[in-house]
Amino acid sequence: MTLTEWAEVVRRELDLTGTEPLRKADVDRVLDLARDAAHSVARPAAPLTTYLLGVAVGRGADPDEAAAVLSRLALAQDDESGV
C-alpha cells in the first residue's frame, strides 16, 4: 500500500467527506516538513509539527504556504544550534 492509498483509507475512516483525496504532492509536502522538523529540531517534533500544519490547514491556511513557513522555522533552529 502506498502512502497516498493509506491517506485515502484514513480519510474515509475519519469520514472526512467534502475533502479532496490527498495527492502524492500533499503526502510529499507533509513528509518533507516532518523531515525538516525531525532533523533540525528533534525527532518528536516531526509528528507534532505535521499535526499543527493540519490544524492550520483545517482553519483555512494555504497548505503550501504554511508548510514552507514551518520548514523555514525548523531549519532556522538547526542554524541556531550551529549544526
Q: Is 33 exposed, middle or buried (0-12, 13-18, 19+ CB in 10 A)?
A: buried
pTM of the model: 0.86
| DSSP 8-state symbol, 82 | T
User: How would DSSP label each residue in 3-61?
Assistant: HHHHHHHHHHHTT-TTSPPPPHHHHHHHHHHHHHHHHHT-TTHHHHHHHHHHHHHHTT-
pLDDT tens series, the chain, 83 aa = 999 999 999 999 999 878 788 899 999 999 999 999 999 999 999 999 999 999 999 999 999 999 999 999 999 997 676 55
Distance in angstroms (rounded) separating the CA atoms of residues 36 and 71: 6
